[in-house]
């Protein structure tokens, strides 16, 4: 449908495009009143995002509370999610930073009490899940070798060589250390830079399409 035939859609595209262009020009170093206007738009976006996160939090909590109340399938996981959610919220409110007493809402998720909860609970769980990835990687390598695909065999061989070169006795060898350093400085770094440049170009193209109204992810379809 043409934008000219849909005034509401056209208005939304114009507002989004102008707001995005103002913020983009501010990042480019434009002067005058533009930085103040861009800062105001960013503050509005932050407030809207915070309200959206709060509504999402209430919606998720309500959904899982109904699952627990109805004793649906796997309702124990829903109860565990609610308990974890309440633990983080209570810790952030009732265990404030030194010098701040009473009922104080946390300013961010970077405050010490909330970070303590993440360090004690979340980080060990994340480490355990990452440790399990070694077994999944080994299983995937065995399946790839079983298929006999040349590409898969090359990937498995390269991965095995990289793992072997990380063993301390092997890294102590002068030739191995120099070779690994050369691969990291040139081959691996070149590939990483290529990926970053490709991602940056893709983000630039996506941003331009949003500014011009070709893509409208902010509209309710």
Write the pLDDT tens digit of every residue in 101-156.
Answer: 555 666 666 667 777 788 888 888 888 888 888 888 888 888 877 877 788 888 88
User: How many residues belong to the chain?
Assistant: 221
Q: Is residue 182 part of a domain?
A: no
Q: Which position has the higher pLDDT, 161 or 201?
A: 201
- Could you list the residue range(s) of the whole structural domain that residue 47 is in? 1-72
Residue 47 lies in a domain: yes
pLDDT value, residue 132: 87
Does 16 reside within a domain? Answer: yes
CA 115 to chain centre: 18
Per the structure, how many domains does the chain have? Answer: 1
Q: Between residues 52 and 159, which one has the greater pLDDT?
A: 52
Q: What does the mean pLDDT of the chain come to?
A: 81
Distances (CA, A) of 25 to 20, 30, 101, 213: 9, 6, 42, 18
Backbone angles phi, psi at 34, to 5 degrees: -65, -40
Q: Tokens in use for 48?
A: 């809207």
Cβ(4)–Cβ(10) under 8 Å?
A: yes
Mean pLDDT, rounded, for 195-199? 94
Q: Answer yes or no: is 79 within a domain.
A: no
CA 163, distance to chain mean position in Å, is: 27
């Amino acid at each position: 449908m043409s934008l000219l035939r849909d005034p509401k859609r056209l208005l939304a595209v114009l507002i989004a495009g102008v707001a995005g262009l103002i913020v983009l020009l501010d990042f480019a170093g434009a002067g005058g009143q533009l930085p103040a206007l861009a800062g105001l738009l960013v503050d509005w976006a932050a407030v809207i995002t915070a309200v959206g996160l709060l509504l999402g939090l209430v919606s998720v909590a309500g959904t899982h509370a109904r699952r627990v109340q109805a004793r649906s399938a796997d309702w124990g996981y829903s109860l565990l999610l609610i308990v974890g959610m309440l633990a983080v919220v209570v810790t952030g409110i009732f265990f404030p930073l030194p010098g701040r007493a009473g009922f104080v809402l946390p300013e961010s998720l970077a405050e010490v009490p909330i970070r303590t909860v993440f360090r004690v609970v979340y980080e060990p769980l994340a480490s355990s899940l990452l440790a399990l990835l070694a077994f999944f990687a080994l299983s995937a390598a065995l399946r790839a070798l079983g298929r006999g695909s040349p590409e898969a065999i090359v990937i498995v061989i390269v991965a095995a060589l990289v793992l072997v070169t990380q063993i301390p006795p092997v890294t102590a060898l002068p030739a191995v250390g120099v070779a690994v350093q050369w691969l990291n400085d040139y081959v691996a770094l070149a590939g990483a830079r290529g990926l970053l440049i490709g991602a940056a170009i893709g983000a630039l193209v996506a941003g331009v399409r949003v500014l011009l109204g070709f893509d409208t992810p902010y509209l309710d379809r």
